[in-house]
Amino acid sequence: MSDTATTEHTFRRYREGETAADIDLEEKIFQADASYKCPTYVHKTPPCQGSCPSGHEIRGWLAIARGMDTPPVEGMTWQEYAFQRMVEANPFPATMGRVCPAPCEDGCNRNEVDDFVGINAVEQYVGDWANDNSLNLGEPGKDTGKTVAVVGSGPAGLTAAYFLRKKGHAVTVFESQEKLGGMMRYGIPGYRTPRDMLDIEIGRIIDLGVDVRTGTRIGQDVTIDQLEKDFDAIFWGIGAQVGRPLPIPGFDADNCITGVEFLDAFNQGWVFSTARKIVVVGGGDTSVDVASVARRLGHITHKADKRLSDGKALGHTAQDVAGTAVREGVKAVLTSLFPIEEMTAAEHEREDALREGVEIRGGVVPLEVIKDDEGRVAALRMCECEMDGMTPVAREGTEFEIECDLIVSAIGQMGDLTGIEAMDNGHGFIATDPLYKVKDQDKHFAGGDIIRPHLLTTAIGHGRVAAENIDHFLAGEPMNKRPKVDVHHFNLLNELHQRGLDPEEYDHTQRRGTSEEHFAVHNYEDRSTTQIIPHTELFKGHFAYEPRETRGEVRIVGDDVLGNFEERIQGFTEEQAQKEGERCMSCGMCFECNNCVNYCPQDAVFRVKKSERAVGRYVDTDYAKCIGCHICMDVCPSGYIKMGLGE
């Protein structure tokens, strides 16, 4: 648990001095028999899922981890069942469990009780278990005869390829690099996304029968016209591969580069510079990665002569850096327009960078690159600033200089649309409609950073939704809108089906007394596509203080970071993953606590027969006994019970 997390309850049902005796429950019960309201079981989306850009059904696989939702197949482990649930929305659980900044945890209702549920850590555990046990993604769908080209093999492109193959479409991935992975491989250092892990998760998708053409650049090796001729649809997931330079005088110096260039070179095995003093301008996760990598590389005093076949020297391989080169500590300064506590980089990433020796200066704006007599960088002139929205306002008289011999700009990215200028919206991106269809371009769809630079998990969500829309397009039934809450939802009919509890056939004749019939799902309403359940609808007093399980971490201090490229995060044990699953409050879905059964004064609420139970079908109501007193709703911890029918 973080240092700032409270260790006491932040919610109490009654104020100091109040007790249940102060509420006249007897009068409430006797008056309630005139109420027309009775309980119905209403499924809503929890805020963790609502704030997950990839659309994970998080509550669902946490219920599996806690043991409430058991595998429907005899002999299946809970880890495999949870993995299957995860990849219904996101085929990269091991990767995202490590690098996603977890907006789901920010939205977690448990923050109102003590501390959020460690969703990322459970996801990493299940993803790693799946890798260690060689789980696959099942079989592709029945062949449709349709073909789709996916341009780019980053998170958006590979996710689209995965879901399109599950729909039965033939998919060919075109990638300009020699290896697949996009920003997961070339934009994030290996100590954050271990390459063996990444290769396994990518390999699962390719094993579905995806054709791959690496070293192939669209617009150079293959034209757009050729793609349109050979494929029924095209998905563009080419990412934002061009970093934005600093818009200040002097940034044209040779030793001024962008963060994208720096990380791409490092991740391909090449190091740009032997700089002793580096300034990274940014404030987001990319800038932290650059500064942290720079600290790990150190200053190289022994130069290994590495050249390509054309004789061009590129610098030093990562192996040279990590192994044989002699290092001295490099001074890395990270600057941000915003104050440190308001930087967009994840808090734990900032803390790691500070501990590893990166100096962070917030609330400063670059003014000019100072060059030496040879035209190389000597310093970066800056001043303090205040932010007017997204615009920095310089404070006069606060100018200062930071000595450096390398400046890295990590202030944003845009696409490289060379050779495919027809796709450019005029700003270095591809413009799409809300369904990820490229505007004014038939057969073309796009997602990921090329439409809006954001998180890896956002790109995964784009790929998932775009694949579904492409499927409808290929079937001649294009979609015109998406659900208001556009994530992967629990589906009660699917749950009943996998348990062999499907409703009986219905002859569609009107009748009374249908509560005794078995052709309908009674007493249930699904609002998950339109409503997210807030903490105010939960009975938070049910939950005891339970400290969050935390992942171990290799904490490196100061110059000990030099040459250390080992993974920092240590994953959960099975016991930790299960305990963290138990902390989930199951917002918007019954988790079988029995409160409604135990507290109903009329015995109107009862447990469903064990042979007929399923997730979401644990309790039922005898309306002949119900007097509408609302007590079942009041004591429902998850907010699953609502009074009255309809909205």
In tens, the pLDDT along 260-301 reads 777 777 666 655 445 678 888 887 765 555 555 554 444 433
Q: Tell whether the model's pLDDT for residue 161 goes beyond 50.
A: yes
pLDDT band at 125 (very low <50, low <70, confident <90, very high): very high
Per residue in 97-119, pLDDT tens? 998 888 888 889 998 899 899 99
CA atoms within 13 A on the CB side of 258: 16
For 460, the token pair is 């995964």
Residue type, position 166, single letter: K
Residue 298 pLDDT = 47
Contacts of 354 (CB under 8 A, 6+ apart): 360
Q: Tell whether the model's pLDDT for residue 502 goes beyond 80.
A: yes
Per residue in 341-383, pLDDT tens? 888 777 777 887 788 778 889 999 999 999 988 888 999 999 9
Q: Tell whether the model's pLDDT for residue 321 goes beyond 50.
A: no
Q: How far apart are CA 584 and CA 628, in angstroms?
A: 29
Per residue in 464-491, pLDDT tens? 999 999 999 999 998 888 988 889 999 9
357 neighbors 330 (Cβ within 8 angstroms): no
Rounded to 5 degrees, φ, ψ at 204 are -60, -40
What SS3 class is residue 610?
Answer: helix
Residue 565's CB is within 10 A of a number of other CB atoms, namely 15
Instruction: Output the CA angle 473-475-477, nearest 5 degrees.
Output: 60
Residue showing tokens 């199951």: 586
Residue 224 pLDDT = 95
Residue 325 pLDDT = 23
Beta-bridge partners for 525: 42
Sign of CA dihedral 112, 116, 117, 120: positive
Q: How far apart are CA 475 and CA 459, in angstroms?
A: 24
Per residue in 58-78, pLDDT tens? 999 999 999 999 999 999 999
Q: How far apart are CA 632 and CA 628, in angstroms?
A: 9
pLDDT, average across residues 533-553: 90
Q: How far apart are the first and last CA of the chain?
A: 38
Q: Which domains does the chain carry?
A: 147-242+415-474 (3.50.50.60), 243-411 (3.50.50.60)
393 neighbors 267 (Cβ within 8 angstroms): no
pLDDT band at 595 (very low <50, low <70, confident <90, very high): very high
Residue showing tokens 């991740």: 267
Q: How far apart are CA 642 and CA 639, in angstroms?
A: 7
pLDDT, average across residues 45-53: 89
What SS3 class is residue 357?
Answer: coil
Q: Tell whether the model's pLDDT for residue 241 goes beyond 70.
A: yes
Q: How far apart are CA 41 and CA 181, in angstroms?
A: 43
143 vs 410, more confident: 143
pLDDT band at 145 (very low <50, low <70, confident <90, very high): very high
For 614, the token pair is 């399923």
For 55, the token pair is 């659309």
Give the single-character DSSP code of 23: S
Beta-bridge partners for 368: 381
User: Quick one: which of 632, 612, 635, 634 has its CA closest to 622?
Assistant: 632
**Alpha-carbon dihedral angle through residues 215, 216, 218, 223, given to the nearest 10 degrees:** 160
187 neighbors 260 (Cβ within 8 angstroms): yes
Residue 565 pLDDT = 55
pTM for this structure?
0.81
Give helix then strand counts, H and E, for the chain: 20, 28
Give the single-character DSSP code of 342: G
42 neighbors 49 (Cβ within 8 angstroms): no
pLDDT, average across residues 456-467: 93
Q: How far apart are CA 463 and CA 455, in angstroms?
A: 13
Q: Tell whether the model's pLDDT for residue 315 goes beyond 50.
A: no
Q: Tell whether the model's pLDDT for residue 1 goes beyond 90.
A: no
DSSP for 242-293 reads: EEPPPSSTTTTSTTEEEHHHHHHHHHTTEE----SEEEEEE-SHHHHHHHHH
Q: How far apart are CA 434 and CA 335, in angstroms?
A: 35
Residue showing tokens 């339970």: 546
630 neighbors 644 (Cβ within 8 angstroms): no
Q: Tell whether the model's pLDDT for residue 312 goes beyond 50.
A: no
- Percentage of the chain beyond pLDDT 70 is 83
Residue 559 pLDDT = 53
- Percentage of the chain beyond pLDDT 90 is 52
Q: How far apart are CA 440 and CA 449, in angstroms?
A: 20
295 neighbors 289 (Cβ within 8 angstroms): no
Q: Tell whether the model's pLDDT for residue 34 goes beyond 60.
A: no
Q: How far apart are CA 432 and CA 114, in angstroms?
A: 41
Instruction: Output the CA angle 468-473-478, nearest 5 degrees.
Output: 90
